[in-house]
Each structure stands twice: as C-alpha cells, then as structure tokens.
Amino acid sequence: MPDEPHDVSRRALLGRLAVAAGGVLASPAFPAAAPAASAGRLKQSVCRWPYDRIPLPEFCRRARKIGLAAIDLLHIDESAAAANCIAGLAKIAPLAAEHRVTICVELLNSRIDHAGYQGDHTAFGAAVVSGVDSPHVKLLYDIYHMQIMEGDVIRTIRGNIERIGHFHTGGVPGRHEINDSQELNYHAIAAAIADLHFQGYVAHEFVPTRPDPFASLTEAFRVCTV
C-alpha cells in the first residue's frame, strides 16, 4: 500500500517535496508563484510543528507569501493514510465478497527494497485491515520484508493471524534460499503458522542461487513441511 495523502491538495504538495535526512524537506515546497518578499542571500525555511494547528495547505500558502522556500520536519500523517486506505478498501470489499476472493494488502520493507512505502510495518497493516473489518480483506505478511523491518516474526504472526490471509517467504539477507545460509529459522516459523491452523498459502518468493533452481525450491518445500 503506497503512501496515502490526506487529501488532493496534500498529494499535490507532497509531489513537489523531496525529503532530506532527518525529516527535513529541502526542495522548493510551494507553488510556482513568486513569493511576495525577496529571499535575500539565505534560503529560509520554517519548522512545521510550532504551527501544526494551521491546516497544511493554508500554512504552505502563507509561508510562500512570506518568502519562505521550504518546510522542515514535515511528516506524513499516518493515521490519515490509514483512514484513506480503509475508505478505499471498504468500497471494493463487497465486490471481493461477491466474487469470493480475498484482497491481500502486502507488507513490504522500506529500508532495502521499497523506499517510501508506507505499509512497512505490521501495526499499520493491521490497523487498515481491522478498520475495513471484512473477511475478504487481509494482510499479505511477507516474512522477508517484516524480518528486515521488525524481526520478532513468530510472535507477530501469532498476534495477527486473524488478519493475515497469505504469507511470502524469502531468506534474510539477500532474499535467497530459506535454508541455514540465512538468519531465519523457517522450519520453526512454518510450524508456528501451522499450529495456528492457518488455512491459506505460504508462498515461496525467493531468488534461487543454485544452477538448478528447482533444487532450491525442493529444499524450501522440505524446510516448510511440518
């Protein structure tokens, strides 16, 4: 689930911003209209938090009018993003029910493979699925991605199994074979999932390194046979 903006104005604004280290927005943050005041020899910006009671679009317009060129410490509102995801998925959940399919919202890591992806931790995905409250909207819990972001895989699976509709595997690091060349104990993870009476699929999503990829796939099948 990609980052969801608070509204259309916010989408337009964030499309113009580049996020620098430490949450500082360092690129031109406002519409192209010239500021009312000369910027002088310094590039001046403003920190968002002292003015957080002012709606963001209004704050941007007023700051631009003053002559400020950027906003620091501007973070995407996660609760608003979750609410937008819930609203969108709730509209299509009845169609999924009608066709007897399950929509799975995948959790991905934002540290290595998917920079900027907002659904990068279980709590966010669980909040969305719980908000939709439909048996036809579940999480795709990608074990590879969540090991990178969170660890504590078995405990997290146990605590969220009712919200999970599908699993993906992959060795960490590297997303290769799920044998003892990587840091996860997939046999133990598979046993924990089976103990929870999970009825969905555990799908292998790793990149084989062996000349014969089916040797790796056969090995993965055996590792997860519990």
CATH number at residue 138: 3.20.20.150
Whether 58 and 87 map to the same domain: the answer is no
Whether 46 and 99 map to the same domain: the answer is no
Q: What is d(CA 115, CA 134) in angstroms, rounded to the nearest whole number?
A: 29
Whether 134 and 151 map to the same domain: the answer is yes
Residue 54 within any structural domain of the chain = yes
Whether 63 and 98 map to the same domain: the answer is no
pLDDT per residue as tens digits for the range 11-59: 333 333 333 323 333 334 444 444 455 557 777 888 887 888 888 889 8
Residue 1 within any structural domain of the chain = no
pLDDT at 2: 44
Residue 200 within any structural domain of the chain = yes
Whether 157 and 207 map to the same domain: the answer is yes
pLDDT at 225: 94
Whether 28 and 49 map to the same domain: the answer is yes
Whether 170 and 189 map to the same domain: the answer is yes
The token duo for 23 is: 């949450």
**Domain final residue, candidates 72, 89, 112:** 72
* Segments of the chain with pLDDT less than 50: 1-35
Whether 174 and 62 map to the same domain: the answer is no
Catalytic (active site) residue 106: yes
Q: Which domain holds residue 112?
A: 78-223
Whether 85 and 167 map to the same domain: the answer is yes
Whether 203 and 114 map to the same domain: the answer is yes
Residue 50 within any structural domain of the chain = yes
**Domain final residue, candidates 52, 72, 92:** 72
Catalytic residue selected from 78, 106, 150, 219: 106
Residue 207 within any structural domain of the chain = yes
pLDDT at 56: 85
Whether 27 and 62 map to the same domain: the answer is yes
Structurally, how many domains does the chain consist of? 2
**Domain final residue, candidates 72, 88, 119:** 72
Catalytic (active site) residue 58: no
Residue type, 115: A
Residue 153 within any structural domain of the chain = yes
Catalytic residue selected from 98, 162, 205, 219: 205
Residue 23 within any structural domain of the chain = yes
Whether 26 and 48 map to the same domain: the answer is yes
Residue 27 within any structural domain of the chain = yes
